[in-house]
């Protein structure tokens, strides 16, 4: 047992708590306690199967983030329930399971992958979910043991149903613009909001009219992939005065926006927060109204600059 693990065990033994509170965000020490008690399934969503086999949290099941994503022309598009059922069943998951999602933990953007998977699982009936703060790299830094290779999994047969309570489609966004019945939150970095950067699959740069810019990176400790603690998150949410009958968050492909959805819905507990899963890639290709759209000349200059930057870098 490592020194950190030993200290954690002592602190646990003197704690007055009689049960573990399963929160939306979990740290490595609490995760190891749950693993030891055989009370959790760890879902590792890192991309490379070879990296997973080389080292992973003991007992983990591997399903890469791309298995939850749509096609290249619309990465945020929802998977069909048949496809999602087959993929989750292949690693033996059921909605009754207690699941901790583990991302790579290299950048703040990695958390968005875990948040999107969390949102997907919650939307198809999983009720006990958490994300490992700091991801796999954080677990490693905390000094806990790793396993390697594969282990036997018994597949399950699933017939999932989608609950649209946390989903906003294009029509919902249009209604929010036209009727002012919801608050739109743009989770992207400022350059995307301002129309100077764009996703390769987007029809054009720009933003949705009336959207409030709240970059997803605001919710992380500076220079780390660690989500801020609850008090800091709540202070940020309070500063933005998020009020209204509903909040709809979007980005380019429903990835960064998943972090904002997670923080607002699962950490700050704001009711009726929805994720526009398809986000700007879909919106920009429908001919829907946009702001901060560069002129044809400006767009050509931006593309030329982008080409030149890639050439010299």
Backbone dihedral region for residue 207 (phi beyond 0: left; psi -120 to 50: alpha; all else: beta): beta
* Domains of the chain and any CATH numbers: 18-141 (3.40.250.10), 164-295 (3.40.250.10)
Alpha-carbon torsion, ordered 235, 236, 242, 247, to 10 deg: -130
Is residue 311 predicted with pLDDT exceeding 50? no
Say whether 310 sits in a helix, a strand or coil: helix
The per-residue pLDDT for range 197-248, each reduced to its tens digit, is 999 999 999 999 999 999 999 999 999 999 999 999 999 998 888 766 789 9
Dump pLDDT digits (tens) for 62-108. Answer: 999 999 999 999 999 999 999 999 999 999 999 999 999 999 999 99
pLDDT band at 297; cut points 50, 70, 90: confident
Helix H, strand E, coil C: the string for 180-206 is CCCEEEECCCHHHHCCCCCCCCCCCCC
Longest dimension (CA), the chain: 67
Residues 252 and 257: their CA atoms lie apart, in Å, by 8
Q: How many Å apart are CA 12 and CA 30, to the nearest integer?
A: 10
d(CA 203, CA 198): 9
pLDDT tens across 113-135, in order? 999 999 999 999 999 999 999 99
| DSSP string for 100-165 | EEE---SSHHHHHHHHHHHHHHHHTT--EEEEETTHHHHHHHTT---B-S--------------GG
Question: Please, are residues 255 and 177 in contact by the beta-carbon 8 Å criterion?
Answer: no
């Amino acid at each position: 047992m490592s020194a950190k693990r030993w200290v954690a065990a002592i602190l646990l033994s003197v704690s007055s708590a009689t049960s573990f509170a399963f929160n939306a965000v979990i740290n490595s020490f609490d995760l190891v306690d749950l693993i030891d008690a055989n009370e959790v399934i760890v879902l590792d969503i890192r991309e490379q199967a070879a990296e997973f086999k080389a080292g992973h949290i003991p007992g983990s099941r591997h399903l890469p983030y791309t298995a939850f994503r749509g096609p290249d022309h619309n990465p945020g598009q929802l998977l069909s329930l048949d496809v999602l059922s087959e993929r989750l069943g292949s690693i033996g998951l059921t909605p009754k399971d207690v699941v901790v999602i583990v991302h790579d933990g290299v950048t703040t953007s990695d958390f968005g992958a875990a948040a999107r998977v969390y949102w997907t699982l919650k939307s198809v009936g999983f009720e006990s979910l958490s994300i490992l703060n700091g991801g796999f790299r954080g677990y490693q830094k905390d000094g806990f043991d790793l396993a390697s290779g594969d282990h036997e999994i018994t597949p399950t047969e699933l017939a999932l149903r989608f609950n649209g309570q946390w989903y906003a489609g294009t029509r919902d966004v249009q209604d929010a613009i036209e009727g002012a019945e919801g608050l739109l939150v743009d989770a992207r970095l400022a350059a995307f909001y301002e129309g100077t950067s764009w996703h390769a699959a987007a029809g054009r740069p720009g933003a949705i009219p009336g959207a409030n810019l709240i970059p997803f990176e605001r919710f992380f400790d500076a220079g780390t992939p660690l989500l801020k603690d609850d008090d800091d998150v709540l202070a940020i949410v309070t500063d933005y005065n998020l009020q209204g009958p509903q909040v709809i968050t979007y980005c380019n492909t429903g990835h960064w926006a998943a972090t904002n959805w997670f923080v607002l819905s699962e950490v700050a507990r704001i009711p009726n927060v929805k994720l526009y899963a398809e986000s700007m890639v879909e919106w920009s290709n429908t001919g829907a109204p946009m702001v901060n759209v560069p002129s044809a000349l400006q767009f050509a200059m931006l593309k030329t600059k982008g080409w030149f930057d890639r050439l010299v870098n």
